[in-house]
Structure 1
Amino acid sequence: MAEPQKSILIAEIGAAHGVRGEVRVKAHTADPMAIADYGPLHDGRGGLFQVKSLRHLKDDMLVVAFEGVADRTAAEKLNRTKLYVDRSALPPPDEDEFYHADLLGLAVETTAGEPVGTVVAVADFGAGDLLEVRRPGGASVYVPFTRAVVPVLDFAVGKATIEPPQGLLEEGGKPEGEDAP
């Protein structure tokens, strides 16, 4: 299996908030306030961000002041910046837990041993997590990320085993028995 990613996306900077250099930040951590606990954050291009202060706004949204960002003009330039933390700064996951980044790159096969593709993303469109699996040839399929559909994750081998719902892997994306329009 490929080595886990060195950096983990934990937040994204949004719009400026006020005139004193604060920004809205969407956290991708279980506890949004925890983004300040991992030390300096980085943008993947060499920029470092030290949290000076933060407060909860709503849900997973924070208002954050970063060191060196003193006014609205500087804050506006940060809009859409993705913030990462080095993997080594994160606590190890508990048993039966993992980081979404651990799923990326896993080979996917059915319980019958048929190759399906490779996990390229984890998405949530509002109804729960989905694994985006890139099929040979470039097309993707979204696999519901539930224990029933993905009963086995073997990180040591680099493989996810799925029990796909009927029709999920059929050509054209139509379940068996459905006529094309």
Structure 2
Amino acid sequence: MQLVVARIGRAHGIKGEVTVEVRTDEPELRLGPGAVLLTDPASAGPLTIETGRVHSGRLLLRFEGVRDRNAAEALRNTLLIADVDPDERPEDEDEFYDHQLMDLDVVLADGTEIGRIAEISHLPSQDLFIVERPDGTELMIPFVEEIVTDIDLAEQKAVINPPPGLIDDRAEIVSSRDDGHHDDDQATKGTQA
């Protein structure tokens, strides 16, 4: 299975180093010296990491055969892809790879079916499960311990304990404005997604 682990940024210095935007929780494993990575576009690789170091909070990599700023700049925006065994698990037992979570059934603790995980969105503050409901609508569920109480890969399900309004289609949305115009201040009913 192929996983995107980084995106190459701009060249750094004149000796072929590049900045990288890390897209893996295991950079020391995936982006260490000697790692051979596939690329997108494929014509840019494969690339073998020669050295890596952190400079001013950014990871800098140098690849074998890339010796000057022009060659490094030509790699800008290239995605770095690791070939990973599909059965491999992250070191932390509470972490999962995206491919392990895709298509899991999402259920309440009592077994009520909510839908299936169709996509995982990685935001700066948290990850979101994009859940496709049986009626075809989508629901966003924050992947946080308070809401996603259990991931059971053997049973292929994610158990959730949602707060009120997260999956309830009858949630009320009340305007916070209080300017005396009654037509603008009335509570409106809508779907929460």
**TM-score (normalised: structure 2):** 0.72
Q: 2:143 aligns with which of 134, 142, 145?
A: 145
Please say which structure displays the higher CA radius of gyration. 2
State whether residues 108 and 119 of structure 1, in contact with CA within 8 Å, keep that contact through their aligned partners in structure 2: no
**Amino-acid identity (%):** 30
Q: Which residue of 1 aligns with 2:47?
A: 49
RMSD between superposed Cα atoms in Å: 2.9
Indicate how the Cα distance of structure 1 residues 94 and 16 shifts in structure 2: closer, same or farther if over 3 A, else same.
closer
Indicate how the Cα distance of structure 1 residues 31 and 111 shifts in structure 2: closer, same or farther if over 3 A, else same.
closer
State whether residues 50 and 66 of structure 1, in contact with CA within 8 Å, keep that contact through their aligned partners in structure 2: yes
State whether residues 33 and 54 of structure 1, in contact with CA within 8 Å, keep that contact through their aligned partners in structure 2: no
Which blocks of at least 5 consecutive residues in structure 2 are unaligned? Answer: 174-186
| Structure 2 counterpart SS, 1:88 | coil
Q: Which residue of 2 aligns with 1:154?
A: 152
Q: Confirm or deny that 1:120 pairs with 2:119.
A: yes
**One-letter amino acid of the counterpart of residue 148, structure 1:** E
Spell out, residue by residue over 1:100-138, the C-alpha distance to the aligned partner (whole angstroms, 9 max, x if none): 322233232333412333241142332x33323344566
2-structure distance, mates of 1:27, 1:8: 12
Q: 1:167 aligns with which of 148, 165, 183?
A: 165
Deviation at 1:149, TM superposition (A): 0.7
Q: Which residue of 2 aligns with 1:3?
A: none
| Structure 2 counterpart SS, 1:142 | strand
Matched positions, count: 171
Q: Which residue of 1 aligns with 2:102?
A: 104
State whether residues 7 and 21 of structure 2, in contact with CA within 8 Å, keep that contact through their aligned partners in structure 1: yes
Which blocks of at least 5 consecutive residues in structure 1 are unaligned? Answer: 1-5
Indicate how the Cα distance of structure 1 residues 117 and 38 shifts in structure 2: closer, same or farther if over 3 A, else same.
farther
Q: Which residue of 1 aligns with 2:6?
A: 11
